[in-house]
Amino acid sequence: MPLLDIQNLSVDFKTASGPFRAVDGVSMTVDAGEIVSIVGESGSGKSVSMLALMGLLPWTATITADRMLFDGHELAGLSARQRRRIVGKDMAMIFQEPMSSLNPCFTVGFQIGEALKVHLKLDRKARRRRVIELLEMVGIPAAAERVDAFPHQLSGGMSQRVMIAMAIACQPKLLIADEPTTALDVTIQAQILELLMQLQSETGMGLVLITHDMGVVAETAHRVSVQYAGQKVEEQAVAGLFADPHHPYTAALLAALPERATSRRLPSIPGVVPGQFDRPTGCLFSPRCKFATERCVTKVPPVQGRQAGYALCHYPLAGGRPVGHPGPGATIHPDLQEVA
Amino acid sequence: MFGFLFRRIGLVIPTFIGVSLVAFFLIRLLPGDPILLMAGERGLSPERYAELMGRYGFDRPIWEQYAGYLGSLIQGDFGTSIITKKPVFEEFFALFPATVELSICAMIFAVVLGIPAGVVAAVKRGSGFDHGLMATALVGYSMPIFWWALLLIIVFSGILQWTPVSGRISLLYFFPSVTGFMLIDSLISGQKGAFASAASHLILPTIVLGTIPLAVIARQTRSAMLEVLSEDYIRTARAKGLSPFRVVGVHALRNALIPVITTIGLQIGVLIAGAILTETIFSWPGIGKWMVDSIFRRDYPAVQGGLVLIALMVMVVNLIVDMLYGLINPKIRHTR
């Protein structure tokens, strides 16, 4: 049985201008000890689905799911109190902005120790010992002194290490890292990723890595889930994804990697992720897809089988070619063809 | 920290001179003078008038008078009251505890009700409680103090007869003043019912004086909390599985207190201004009432000295408030 099993998760936000579906029927599983990466552009609902899992969305959000099993427990029907026993203990999360994610009014030791106090009921002395131990685990030098430091006395990288220490304080079974390196310097990014990998292999916890950086995915993940506009468009093991992407969006993301650029200009995906008011009918990626045909615009694409990476597409790619595609003449975006 | 303290004290000096200037000239802008008022209905001869004006130095050029006044102020001499012939400093501090007692009670009333009300309103944003509280706060803030005081007296002292109308304590009790604070002195005296009497006299003035600070603190707490509640570290706290009570009461409130404390500090001035009206209405023997009486008697030294001393108090309180920030948010302590 997988550690985390989400089936058909949707999140709707009530907004002043009507409802907005941020996550649309996403399914995913994470096994114990597995690293699953969720990739996609900004606004593709990567963070929202994980925040929904953690119960951290505001009251304007409505969460529906066929199944939301974590460690054998169904999360959907839990009361807030019951969920708080799991959140922060067995399931923890770190965020994008380490500097603003720490409370400026309290010492690092206090903030890490809180989880130990609430979930494990450790006394003051035991908490302090464990906090120092945790700080050493995440590679903070002079941990015994840093316990009493305030967040503003730490750099961004140090703050993220503290956030990680806080998250792993109760030895969670699942750690969700929401773009943990986006706000950091490139050199620090590598260190933080390395630390996460090391802790993951030492503790055997499941790790969900939300990112938009394909380079990070290639180096860390076992399995990748690609999201677009709130939908999961493809899911594959990492090697297969890089070798043979099945969804045109995945292919376009990979083609946009600077390392893979062959022309003088870096390739890009034209347009932006559709928002609340410009949601296309049919396939959500069709306005930006170079293979899109009339059918893509009018009919909602099916989920392909395992062989085709569960691609949400009428013409899933195989070896870079769209299967079943009527040919270049049928595409509705000939201009995109030329750019590519 | 000490550099900051010195800079702040450096700022106090020009403020102090400004206040003395305003205090000195404003009272002299009022028609009439203390000599005429002392003489009363029957009047006095021009010779006697000139002699008295000369004795108090009121015949000298006004700039000279001010220079003399400022000179003695700097030496700590606040002058002598023309009416009571007692040093202004002594009179002020004899009455000051009554005002402090009332102000402290009013502030406690405002803080104890205002902060929780603001927090609840922010957490339940958009709810009936939130709208109700904000509307009530607006009404409380806009209400004229004297009208509100008379309304309360009519209802609670007149119709319901729950509280006394005026004064600090029932005339049945007498005991020596030890601290100047009636609540404490009545306890020390050990007389039965003295404390209850003192407390019941405090209720209405406390509510009247505390209403505006209450409204301001509740609104400020609400807006500060709303801002803090959307911060990333609140999400972090919730991600730890902390109870909503702990997230709001510990993680959010501590951060929201900075602007609230600033507001409380600024309310000290409002409190003193309010005390003048409140004390007059409730015959509360504090400096507010004393100031009003002194203005009516054109007791120049008393009004000037009182104003300068009040201004000094406000400055000291604000200085203390500024230093409190660092205690709450260490980031502020270090960047200064």
pLDDT in tens, A67-89: 999 988 898 888 888 989 999 99
- Angle at which helix B182-189 crosses helix B88-123, to 10 degrees, equals 100
Say whether B330 and A104 touch across the interface (CB within 8 A). Answer: yes
CA B98/CA B120 separation, integer angstroms: 33
Instruction: Identify the band that residue A121 occupies on the pLDDT scale cut at 50, 70 and 90.
Output: very high
Looking at the structure, tell me whether residues B184 and B294 fall in a common domain: yes
Among A163, A193, A226, which residue terminates a domain?
A: A226
A284 and A178, same domain (yes or no)? no
Closest by Cα among A281, A226, A222, A284 to A254: A226
Spans of chain B below 50 pLDDT:
336
| A30-39, A166-175, B323-332: least confidently modelled range | B323-332
Tell me which residue of B285, B314, B334, B226 sits closest to B98, measured CA to CA: B285
Instruction: Give pLDDT, residue B221.
Output: 95
Q: Measured between beta carbons, which residues in chain B are less than 8 angstroms from residue A95?
A: 232, 235-236, 239
Question: Does residue A121 sit within a domain?
Answer: yes
Neighbours of B216 (CB within 10 A): 21
Whether residue B88 is contained in a domain is answered as no
Check whether residue A212 and residue A326 sit in a common domain.
no
Same domain, B37 and B117: no
Whether residues A212 and A280 share a domain: the answer is no
What pLDDT digit, counting tens, does each position of A265-306 carry?
778 888 888 887 888 888 999 888 888 888 998 899 998 988
Give yes or no for residue A337 having a pLDDT over 80.
Answer: no
Look at A39-43, A115-119, B132-136 and tell me which has the smallest mean pLDDT.
A39-43
* CATH code (residue A147): 3.40.50.300
- What's the pLDDT at B243? 92
Q: Are residues B104 and B40 part of one domain?
A: no
In a domain, A182, yes or no: yes
**Amino acid in position B26:** L
- A245 lies in a domain? no
pLDDT at A338 over 70: no
In which domain, by residue range, is B136 found? 93-335
Residue B249 belongs to a domain: yes
Return the beta strands (E) in chain B as ranges.
Answer: none
Query: Domain range spanning residue A332?
Result: 267-339
Could you say which of A226, A252, A284 is where a domain stops? A226
Q: What is the ipTM of this complex?
A: 0.87
Chain B nearest C-alpha distance from A88 (Å): 4
pLDDT score for A257: 83
- Please indicate, yes or no, whether residues B148 and B27 belong to a single structural domain of this protein: no
Same domain, A273 and A213: no
Residues A83 and A75: their CA atoms lie apart, in Å, by 7
Verify that A172 and A301 share a domain, yes or no. Answer: no
Question: Is residue B22 assigned to a domain?
Answer: yes
Task: State how far residue B1 is from chain A, nearest Cα, in angstroms.
Answer: 18
Answer whether residue B142 is part of any domain.
yes
Contacts with A86 from chain B: Cβ below 8 Å: 241
Which domain CATH number covers B103? 1.10.3720.10
pLDDT at A187 over 70: yes
Are B150 and B272 contained in the same domain?
A: yes
Domain assignment present for A256 = no
| Domain-located, residue A238 | no
Domain contains B311 = yes
**B156 in the same domain as B302:** yes
| pLDDT of res. B228 | 94
Are B106 and B57 found together in one domain? Answer: no
Residue to substitute from A14, A96, A106, A163, interface B, most B β-carbons within 10 A: A106
List chain A residues with CB under 8 Å of B331. 104, 150, 152
* Residue A105 to residue B329, Cβ atoms within 8 A: yes
pLDDT tens for each residue of A250-263:
998 888 888 777 77
A45 and A132 part of one domain: yes
Judge whether B189 lies within some domain. Answer: yes
Q: Identify whether residues B21 and B129 lie together within a single domain.
A: no
Residues B269 and B307 in one domain: yes
- The structural domain count of chain B equals 2
C-beta atoms of A102 and B243 within 8 A: no
Q: Tell me, yes or no, whether A106 lies in a domain.
A: yes
The verdict on residue B245 lying in a domain is yes
Q: Which two tokens stand for residue A242?
A: 């890089």
Locate the chain A residue with the closest alpha carbon to B335: A152
What pLDDT does residue A323 have? 87
Are A162 and A282 in a shared domain? no
Asked whether residue A38 falls in the same domain as residue A111, the answer is yes
User: Is residue A251, in this structure, part of any structural domain at all?
Assistant: no
Higher pLDDT, B47 or A102: A102
Query: What's the total number of domains in chain A?
Result: 2
Looking at residue A339, its pLDDT comes to 44
Q: Are residues B239 and B100 in the same domain?
A: yes
Assess if residue B244 is contained within a domain. yes
Which residue of chain A has the CA closest to B253? A105
Q: Are residues A273 and A177 part of one domain?
A: no
If asked whether residues A157 and A58 sit together in one domain, one would say yes
* Domain stops at, among A210, A226, A242: A226
Based on the fold, state whether residues B249 and B289 are members of the same structural domain.
yes
> What does the pLDDT read at residue B333?
62
Q: Which of B231, B239, B246 sits opposite A56 (nearest CB)?
A: B239
Closest CA to B67 of B104, B108, B24, B103: B24
DSSP class per residue in A87-152 = BTTTEEEE-S-HHHHS-TTS-HHHHHHHHHHHHH---HHHHHHHHHHHHHHTT-TTHHHHTT--GG
On whether both A214 and A317 belong to a single domain, the answer is: no
Chains A, B: CB contacts under 8 A, how many?
78
Looking at the partner chain, which of B238, B244, B255 has a beta carbon nearest the beta carbon of A104? B255
* Nearest chain B CA: its distance from A262 CA (Å): 40
Pairing of strands A73-74, A67-70: antiparallel
pLDDT-based confidence at A183, cuts 50/70/90?
A: confident
Instruction: Report the distance separating Cα B202 and Cα B185, nearest Å.
Output: 14
Q: Are residues B163 and B312 in the same domain?
A: yes
pLDDT band of residue A340 (cuts 50, 70, 90) is very low
